[in-house]
Amino acid sequence: MAIHTTAIIDPQAELADSVQVGPYAVIGAGVTLKDRVVIGAHAVVTGPTIVGEGSHLSHHTVIGEDPQDKKYQGEPTRLIIGKDNVFREFSTANRGTLQGGGQTVIGDGNLFMAYSHVAHDCVVGDHCVFANCASLAGHVEIQDYAVLGGLTGIHQFTRVGRCAMIGGGGMVAQDVPPFTIAQGDRARLFGLNIVGLRRCGYRLPAITALRNAYRELFHQGTPLRIALEQVREVYAEVPPVTELVAFIESSRRGVCRSAGSEPNPES
């Protein structure tokens, strides 16, 4: 264990032997730092918070603070962070509230760039990217491999689907379906995230099926309920299309509308 002499470690914190803590960092009571966690200079981690193996908190990050919610009355809640996450300088993540289940959960292998923020009761999947100043309000769900561009904002109780991308400056007030690109204020859909699909290993047949399904759902003028039934029947054997349909059907806030342009094959 390598702990700088100026760091402040609460006796009730639990640190694995391989943890590194930089100058003037503060580790509070109820914090658990797993193997190979690195805490940068002036970082603050308060608890109850668990930081998973191999995660790196850069200098001046603040992780595990009280939720920024007027309804919060000091009840015990927690933040759970998976392994191999990177929080760059001045990024923040808050604990949950009892109204939201009591915890904020972040998966594995995510990158949170400078000044990004994860609010109370959010759920972030695996291998997501939050560009600079990307911010989540409370109770947001970000699914695996999603990318949030710089200066994006996600409204409370909104979902961003798997492999979706939010363009820089996007203000998202409704769910963004998986595999799509959204941008603007309020965000609209601009086709499929072809680059993200390829990075996730999807091949041409699946991408073609998704493109056809997207066109039928958002560009044919058919009522969405009917279009969903038609797409489900035609592409019942194509898993990414059935995932897209299930996501839309389970939406409680509604999904972002299309910007009106055809999907761009090179998006």
Catalytic residue among 108, 121, 126, 144: 121
Amino acid at 47: G
Question: Tokens in use for 231?
Answer: 């797409």
Catalytic residue among 64, 138, 153, 196: 138
* Whether 187 contacts 255, CB under 8 Å: no
Amino acid at 88: R
102 annotated active-site:
no
108 annotated active-site:
no
Return the closest-CA partner of residue 215 out of 152, 171, 258, 174. Answer: 258
Q: From the DSSP assignment, how many helices (H) and strands (E) are in the chain? A: 4, 28
DSSP state, residue 264: P
Q: Round to whole Å and give the CA distance between 89 and 266.
A: 33
Q: Round to whole Å and give the CA distance between 248 and 3.
A: 48
Catalytic residue among 42, 120, 127, 155: 120
Q: Where are the alpha helices (DSSP H) in the chain?
A: 194-199, 204-218, 224-234, 239-249
| Helix, strand, or coil (residue 49) | strand
| Sign, CA torsion 122/98/76/68 | positive
185 annotated active-site:
no
DSSP state, residue 256: P
Q: Round to whole Å and give the CA distance between 69 and 228.
A: 37
| Residues taking part in catalysis | 120-121, 138
